[in-house]
Amino acid sequence: MQFPILSALIFTPIVAGIILLFLPAENRVWIRRIALVAATLILLMSFVLYFTYDVSRGGYQFLEEAKWLPQFGIHYKLGIDGISLPLVLLSGLVIFSGVLVSWNVEDRPREFFSFLMFLGASVLGVFCALDLFLLFFFFELAVFPKYLMIVVWGYPKTREYGGMKLTLYLFIGSVIALVGTLAIYFGSGLRTFDLLALEQAGFPAEFQRLWFPFVFLGFAILGGIFPFHSWAPDGHVAAPTAISMLLAGVEMKVGAFAALRVGIQLLPEGAQYWAAAILLLATINVVYGAFIAMVQTDFKYVIGFSSVSHMGLVLIGFATLNRDGLLGAGMQMFSHGVMTALFFAIVGMVYDRAHTREIGALGGLVQKMPWAAVGFIIGGLVSMGMPGFSGFVSEIPVFMGAWQVAPLVAIVAILGILITAAYIFLVVRRVFFGEIPPALDQSVTDISRKDKLVIGMLALVMILLGWFPSLLTRLIEPGVQSILALIGGGR
């Protein structure tokens, strides 16, 4: 019997979170150590999954199944394929990085790291679930810790507004997705939530066209789809650094992944019927998000709207329903997750030392924080799709896939990348170069070794993927082929 590594992956943060809650609040050293040990184990297990996944066999592997509520067709069923495995690895990287950058949290660190662990368990559960009820269960599990971490530890001026707005938007999406989920359950006639069985249910075309928008849109709201995107920049900006990293780096991928796994894979004819509408909304995401990012004066809001823009590329890739687009979307989810986690980590490092996020009040920080400057520049090169970095190898397949179905979408999306380059150059010049304000010259210090480790690790991942894209494409390609088989070879 194989070791249940997926269960271990999911329950490690849950157990760690529970242990942390029972530790004495004054025992801060052990609180941080336990959180770091749990995050390290998650990262190590994600690497084990990456290196032991059999690419030649493809499909779902590391399967685990147990009866849960069999009278309702609900089972505890886990497994990962080439689409979900990179996202599991992404989660491991971001959770580990989030613990390191939060090392100096002084306000109730016990509860902070505990809720961080619960949030990590939620995203890992969604990526590993092969039961629709289980997927929805883990999807909802994140709501409570997300809200609390924003309103308790977030930016004082906006945390109440940002936390409530995020929660309400995601509740709306959850309700819409739940309606679609119940329709799938009863419409299949199988009385099961097993995703593999539902993939073969053969829903009538009219049924798929009717219910696809409920499922896809309900989950895609968490992915930041226009016009339900505005929770993202407000929520990201209000959140503490580690939660901003998880929200933009991983949680938005949870929404996109669920939209793909449940919407496109279970209702492929519905996906083809609504593809043009998704392309339109996703293209607005790309251009609108980039334009709004360019005019922001708050450093963190720039990254918040940048995330909305780049998630549009993921949704464009989904809507192409062809090999290139889906492959690029899978790559982009991973690349953007690492990039935006790096961005938000650096914004947090700057704010902790400068005590302001106003771009006009910053400048010359390369003199004080050279690692942060270099890390942000590397993230910026990824964001604008420069060759040699992960953004290029992720975005090019998306554009190629879009050109095959709607060349105008590809052209407009490429223009969005040009706008991205403009605001990245502006931010780099205004924040890290030029004259440093006298007040900052006296107060700002260099970042810690833990911060440098986070920057170095995330930057290295994006550079390696830029030069060796096969590190991910070899995994994602079999998953894409499985999706294409479900939609009859694509379009």
Domain locations in the chain as residue ranges: 5-486
**How far apart are alpha carbons 197 and 195 in whole angstroms?**
5
Largest CA distance in the chain: 70
- What whole-number distance in Å separates Cα of residue 30 and Cα of residue 212? 48
User: pLDDT value at position 355?
Assistant: 84
Is the Cβ–Cβ distance between 238 and 163 less than 8 Å?
Answer: yes
The pLDDT assigned to 490 comes to 44
Cα(116)–Cα(483) distance, integer angstroms? 33
Give the per-residue pLDDT at 266: 92
pLDDT in tens, the chain (491 residues): 578 999 999 999 999 999 999 998 888 899 999 999 999 999 999 999 999 999 988 889 999 999 888 888 899 999 999 999 999 999 999 999 999 999 988 888 899 999 999 999 999 999 999 999 999 999 888 888 888 888 888 887 778 888 888 888 888 888 999 999 999 999 888 888 999 999 888 889 999 999 999 999 999 998 888 888 888 788 878 888 888 888 888 888 999 999 999 999 999 999 999 999 999 999 999 999 999 989 888 888 999 889 889 999 999 999 999 999 999 999 999 999 999 999 999 999 998 888 888 888 888 888 888 999 999 999 999 998 899 999 999 999 999 999 999 999 999 998 888 899 999 999 999 999 888 888 887 788 888 899 999 999 999 999 999 999 999 999 999 999 989 988 874 44
CB-side exposure of 267: number of CA atoms within 13 Å?
A: 30
Pairwise CA distance, residues 293 & 224, whole Å? 15
For the question of whether the overall pTM of this predicted structure is more than 0.85, the answer is yes
CB under 8 Å to 311, separation ≥6 — which residues? 223, 224, 225, 252, 256, 285, 289, 336
H or E stretch covering 75: strand 74-80
| CA distance to 91, 171, 196, 401, per residue, from 271 (Å) | 27, 23, 18, 16
C-alpha dihedral (340, 345, 348, 349), degrees to nearest 10: -140
- The Cβ of residue 410 has, within 10 Å, a number of other Cβ atoms equal to 21
Nearest Cα residue to 129 out of 66, 89, 76, 201: 76
CA atoms of 112 and 106, how far apart (whole Å): 10
Looking at residue 334, what is its pLDDT?
A: 95
Instruction: Please give the single-letter amino acid code of residue 18.
Output: I
Which secondary-structure segment (H or E) carries 62?
A: strand 61-69
